[in-house]
């Protein structure tokens, strides 16, 4: 059985492009969502500049996953990354909406977050 603590520690120290290949699909999707939620909350606390910076980080993460998809992968890894791309695009778009509005609309944030749950 995979311990959540170990999984989250690995996410924090390992490059994400390696991490998404090394772990089972559901684990990748779950931990990625947990980190996204934490990081969005941190960016909101910083303010509009924090969200804008985080949007840039999300674009880079998405680009890194797309590069992996273009390479040679196992069937399982390709399936996992396909699902992760969909989630990452939605996550990026939810943050972009907050950046464009220049404020966090609580209802919108909650709806965006629920779509990923």
pLDDT given for residue 10 in this prediction? 84
d(CA 113, CA 107): 10
d(CA 8, CA 99): 27
pTM of the model: 0.80
Domains defined for the chain, CATH in brackets: 4-116 (1.20.58.1120)
d(CA 58, CA 3): 26
The gap from C-alpha 75 to its chain's centroid, in whole angstroms, comes to: 21
At 38-72, the pLDDT tens digits run 999 999 999 779 999 999 999 999 999 999 999 99
Is residue 54 helix, strand or coil?
helix
């Amino acid at each position: 059985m995979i311990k959540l603590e170990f999984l989250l520690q690995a996410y924090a120290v390992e490059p994400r492009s390696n991490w998404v290949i090394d772990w089972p699909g559901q684990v990748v999707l779950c931990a990625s969502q947990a980190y996204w939620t934490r990081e969005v909350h941190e960016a909101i606390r910083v303010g509009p500049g924090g969200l804008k910076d985080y949007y840039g980080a999300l674009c880079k993460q998405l680009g890194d996953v797309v590069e992996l998809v273009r390479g040679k992968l196992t069937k399982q890894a390709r399936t996992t990354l396909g699902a992760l791309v969909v989630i990452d695009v939605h996550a990026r778009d939810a943050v972009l909406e907050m950046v464009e509005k220049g404020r966090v609309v609580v209802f919108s944030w909650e709806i965006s977050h629920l779509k990923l749950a």
